[in-house]
Structure 1
Amino acid sequence: MLSVCIPVYNVDVSSLVKDLIGQAHELSINIQVLIYDDGSSETFKLINRSISNLKEVDYKELKVNHGSAAIRNKMAADALHNNLLFIDSDSDIQKDYLQKYLPFLSKNKMIVYGGRIHPSKLPSKDKSLRWKVGKCKEDFSVSIRRKVPNKSFMSNNFLAKKQLFDRIKFDDTIERSGHEDTIFGIELEKQGITIIHIDNPVTHIGLESNQEFIQKTEQRLETLKLIEQKYGDNKLLYERITILKYYKKIEQLKLHFIISRLFVKFKKHMALSLLKQNPSMFIYDMYKLGYYSLLSK
């Protein structure tokens, strides 16, 4: 009845998988758990191999890194059941997590997003940037998410019908992580499919260090540049992605070259500021705008 798809990269998923299987047994749900390792270190492979003997688990180690879009498409293609539940491997679930998705298992042609939250307290000082970005820019209540449902979608925690997913899929030409979920939401909207939002968030516990997150932010912006080149004629792209909307404005005002020069001059100072325990979201946004202007130059 339910295929749970968990792409893995350097995360111990044993606890998450056992929780999911336990909840499925309590609800009498026939569950398949696909765990596809996308190039983790041997340390994490050894840990996750320990649950590969569970009868509900389909564990695979991929020979080459597929990326977040392609691996999800592959897992969906391999799944046995019509209900697909995608969960990020660095997630912690609530005790009634599967129960909240249960009413939707018998419905057709829909995508249901449960949401994401971050720990209520800062886990450690060296993760302050990722934690604050999550709290300020990702932890939205279901009532807020429902206002613009297809914009508020993220791929970390959602239920989809296999037949519908096979028709849309993620754009696997996006080889690195970054806004593939935005494109997915736009494609659904183009086909008249509105994403359903419910209050069933997972807690994002796999926070990167500040330095790692700055590097990941730059990588995501590089991916965004490729997406803009491919989908730039779609007006929804500029409505859905805030950084693109503001970049378009400064480009129209012929200010993007000035912004890029200022970014080169102050990049180190801004980066140091973002490493602090309480980083400024304004500086973070200016860092992104500056970096994207530099890429566009």
Structure 2
Amino acid sequence: MVNSLDVQAKAIKEPLEIIILDDGSTNSNITLELEILEKRPLVTIIRHAKNKGRLKSRLALANAAKFDWLLFLDADVLPCASNFLKQYFLETELSHPFVFGGVSYKDDVSPAKEFRLHWLYGKTREQRDVAVRQNNPYSTIVSANMCVQKSSFIQITSTNATSNYGTDIIFLEAIKQSGKNVKHIHNPVYHLGLEPIHRYLPKQIEALTTLKQQVEAGNLAAKERPLHKAYLSLNQFYMTAIFQNLYSLFSKYIMANLNSASPSIRCFDLFKLYHYSKLYN
């Protein structure tokens, strides 16, 4: 990714910097690669002793940045277009402090079975046309690829930073409550860092815990979260225990499906609803 950005930066001849945050990586290959990248004129490395979570890491990057606009990219993405940076530079001249380019998953790659659920979920729930995203600007935010005004980002993030997994919902709600303008454009990145299912599912459960904590703290509009709405519907009709018992009865088949080469997003929805409902037991 840095190579792609470096080439594009030289082409557009605009002042910029590339700041990379190492969030406590113990991988020797990553350490070596960062040492090589650090020798480049545009590149600065920030090192944390441990992983502080997405929001705290981004806040550290924002505070370290010299310029008024920030382009946040997750480490496991790659710009789709050769004019990726130029498109964002054009947006900084307008009045939208939050600009989201979108995310894409490669169609010509058939991931191994252990990565299939993450890939399918991304294509089904995260990869959306710009018109769809703009019609629902706050509920379709994917923060892996966004250009933001530094002052606005720090303002809404400094009071919401947490080290938990699944913090995009906090960030989304903070933008919405701030009333700041959001714009979606077609300037996607490929998401390449698929998680194997044995790591993906535990992270999803951790994200459910974060959701429950934020709902109970009053930081989220609970009825606007689809998963919490489904849980409330179960409770309203006294169906929670029945649903949990039915899920337990079929859990072996559901897990077999999620681990298969053709997982079902509906089964994944049931998996998340079950584990979310169990948090309230």
User: What's the TM-score once normalised by structure 2's chain length?
Assistant: 0.93
Identify the residue that residue 285 of structure 1 maps to in structure 2: 269
Matched residue type, 1:204: H
Q: What is the alpha-carbon root mean square deviation over aligned residues?
A: 1.7
Q: Aligned ranges for residues 110-125 of structure 1 at < 5 Å?
A: 110-120=97-107, 121-125=109-113
The one of the two structures with greater contact order (alpha-carbon pairs below 8 A, sep at least 6) is: 2
Q: CA deviation at 1:266?
A: 3.4
Q: Tell me, in whole angstroms, the C-alpha distance in 1 between the residues paired with 2:114 and 2:60.
A: 35
Give the secondary-structure state (helix, strand or coil) at the position aligned to 2:50.
coil
Q: Tell me, in whole angstroms, the C-alpha distance in 2 between the residues paired with 1:204 and 1:188.
A: 23
Q: Aligned ranges for residues 180-199 of structure 1 at < 5 Å?
A: 180-199=167-186
Q: For the Cα contact (< 8 Å) 1:109–1:164, is it kept in 2? A: no
Q: Tell me, in whole angstroms, the C-alpha distance in 1 between the residues paired with 2:241 and 2:63.
A: 45
Q: For the Cα contact (< 8 Å) 1:87–1:157, is it kept in 2? A: yes
Q: CA deviation at 1:182?
A: 2.5
Q: Tell me, in whole angstroms, the C-alpha distance in 2 between the residues paired with 1:294 and 1:260.
A: 8
Identify the residue that residue 257 of structure 2 maps to in structure 1: 273
Identify the residue that residue 22 of structure 2 maps to in structure 1: 37
Q: Tell me, in whole angstroms, the C-alpha distance in 2 between the residues paired with 1:135 and 1:291.
A: 23
- Tell me whether 1:219 sits opposite 2:206 in the alignment: yes
Equivalent residue for 1:209, pick from 172, 175, 196? 196
Give the secondary-structure state (helix, strand or coil) at the position aligned to 1:146.
helix
Give the secondary-structure state (helix, strand or coil) at the position aligned to 1:196.
strand
Alpha-carbon deviations, 1:217-265, whole Å to 9, x = none? 1121122121222126x53x431x2211211211222222332333344
Alpha-carbon deviations, 1:37-86, whole Å to 9, x = none? 11212322222221011111111221122111111111111111001000
Q: Tell me, in whole angstroms, the C-alpha distance in 1 between the residues paired with 2:23 and 2:213.
A: 22
Number of aligned residue pairs: 278
Matched residue type, 1:50: I
Q: CA deviation at 1:160?
A: 0.7
Give the secondary-structure state (helix, strand or coil) at the position aligned to 2:37.
coil
Equivalent residue for 2:84, pick from 89, 93, 97? 97
Identity percentage of aligned residues: 28
Q: For the Cα contact (< 8 Å) 2:100–2:147, is it kept in 1? A: yes
Identify the residue that residue 61 of structure 1 maps to in structure 2: 47
Q: Tell me, in whole angstroms, the C-alpha distance in 2 between the residues paired with 1:147 and 1:199.
A: 14
Identify the residue that residue 151 of structure 2 maps to in structure 1: 163
Q: CA 1:92 to 1:177, structure 2 compared with 1: closer, same or farther past 3 Å?
A: same
Q: CA deviation at 1:119?
A: 1.3
Q: For the Cα contact (< 8 Å) 2:78–2:189, is it kept in 1? A: yes
- Tell me whether 1:262 sits opposite 2:233 in the alignment: no
Identify the residue that residue 234 of structure 2 maps to in structure 1: 250
Q: CA 1:173 to 1:105, structure 2 compared with 1: closer, same or farther past 3 Å?
A: closer
Give the secondary-structure state (helix, strand or coil) at the position aligned to 2:13.
coil
Q: Tell me, in whole angstroms, the C-alpha distance in 1 between the residues paired with 2:163 and 2:84.
A: 30
Tell me whether 144-153 or 223-232 shows the greater mean CA deviation: 223-232
Give the secondary-structure state (helix, strand or coil) at the position aligned to 1:159.
strand
Q: Tell me, in whole angstroms, the C-alpha distance in 2 between the residues paired with 1:217 and 1:282.
A: 15
Identify the residue that residue 140 of structure 1 maps to in structure 2: 128
Q: Tell me, in whole angstroms, the C-alpha distance in 2 between the residues paired with 1:20 and 1:133.
A: 27
Q: CA 1:109 to 1:273, structure 2 compared with 1: closer, same or farther past 3 Å?
A: closer
Q: Tell me, in whole angstroms, the C-alpha distance in 2 between the residues paired with 1:49 and 1:75.
A: 18
User: What's the TM-score once normalised by structure 1's chain length?
Assistant: 0.88
